[in-house]
Each structure stands twice: as structure tokens, then as C-alpha cells.
Amino acid sequence: MTRPAALAALLLTGACADGESRLEAAWTRDSVSGRFAAPATAVRCDGGRLLVTALAGDTGFAVLVAGRDSAAGTDLFGSHPVADPGAGAIPGPGAALALRMPGEGGSRGYQGRDGTVDLAAAGPGWSGRFEGRLVSLDAAETLAVEGRFRTGAALPAACDDSAAAELP
């Protein structure tokens, strides 16, 4: 890890300690439901995208938002349709959702296929709500998910051009 990356990670960890930066999600699958809540962090990726992540133990959730003009980094606020991150870079305006949680034989990953992410300013940070349909990476399960997040100020960071690589 480079020195700037280590410093950014340390600052992001501190931003979560205030108890205000948080992501909460709930999902259902058939008659089974689950909940997740954890401290959240936000980074502004190259190209003006916003990446919000939350991790607790072996479970993680991520929301990626691309504005209308990702190259200029503008227009992040408002409603963004969820796109399939496996299809490549998320077009603006657009968003991606991802969930990783323990499952049989190891971790199970899920990616958003449709839905909406609504993003707004919250002081120096961000707040958002999301809902959508997540499909397991092996396409064997589908989850309906909804949730919300609030973060502190986002730090700039270099992120991979592939949305799938940016999500846990």
C-alpha cells in the first residue's frame, strides 16, 4: 500500500468512528430475509464517481454512483438507475450495487441487476437510499434489497475503470 493510500485508509477509518457514517440494508429471498448495518466510507473515484462501502466481518455492501458527466465529475445528485456491473463501466447517470456475505462453502457475491439509487448532499458528506434486485454471481439466487446510507466527506481516490472491480 502506498503512503497516500495508507493515509487515506487511516482517515476513512476515522470518518467511520463518529457513528454517523453508516449503511443499512435489508433483503428478502423467498421466505428468508436478512439485515446488514455497518460503518460506511465514501471515496470520490477518478472520473467523478462516488463509491460507498460498508464492511462488518465477512459481509460487505457497496454502492457506486456515476454522474451524468462522469468525465467532469458532475451531476452526482438525484436518482440513478442500477446497471449490471458485469457489463463494464457504469454509464452516467447510473449506479451499481454489490453484496458479499458468508454462504455455503465460502462467501457468496451478488450484483445489482436493476433498481434505483437516490443520492443527496448531507452536510460535507452524502446520504442515499437504494432499492433493487441482486443476483448471485452464479445466477442461482435473486435477492430483493433496500437500504440507506449516510457518510462523511468523500476523499479522492484512484479506482479501477471496471465497476465490478470497485465493488466488494
> Helix or strand or coil: residue 11?
helix
pLDDT at 74: 53
pLDDT at 12: 38
Q: Is the pLDDT of residue 78 over 80?
A: yes
pLDDT at 4: 32
Give the phi and the psi of residue 58 in degrees, each rounded to 5.
-90, 10
Please give the residue that has the higher pLDDT: either 152 or 46. Answer: 152
Exposed e or buried b per residue across 45-76, where buried means at least 16 C-beta atoms within 10 angstroms of its C-beta: bebbbbbbbbbeeebbbbbbbbbeebeebeeb
Q: Is the pLDDT of residue 24 over 70?
A: yes
The CA distances from residue 64 to 111, 127, 142, in Å, are 11, 13, 20
Q: How many angstroms separate the CA atoms of 81 and 110, rounded?
A: 17
Query: Considering only 16-20, 39-43, 96-100, which range has the smallest mean pLDDT?
Result: 16-20
pTM of the model: 0.80
Give residue-wise pLDDT tens across range 117-145: 999 988 889 999 999 999 998 888 999 99
pLDDT at 165: 46
pLDDT at 107: 86
Give the phi and the psi of residue 8 in degrees, each rounded to 5.
-60, -40
The pLDDT-based confidence of 160 (bands split at 50, 70, 90) is low
DSSP letter string over 71-93?
Answer: TTTB--SEEEEB--GGGSSPPSS
Give residue-wise pLDDT tens across range 45-66: 877 789 999 999 999 999 999 8
pLDDT at 8: 34
Q: How many angstroms separate the CA atoms of 55 and 10, rounded?
A: 15
The CA distances from residue 125 to 97, 121, 143, in Å, are 19, 6, 28
- Residue 158: Cβ-neighbour burial (10 angstroms; 0-12, 13-18, 19+): exposed
pLDDT at 15: 39
pLDDT at 138: 87
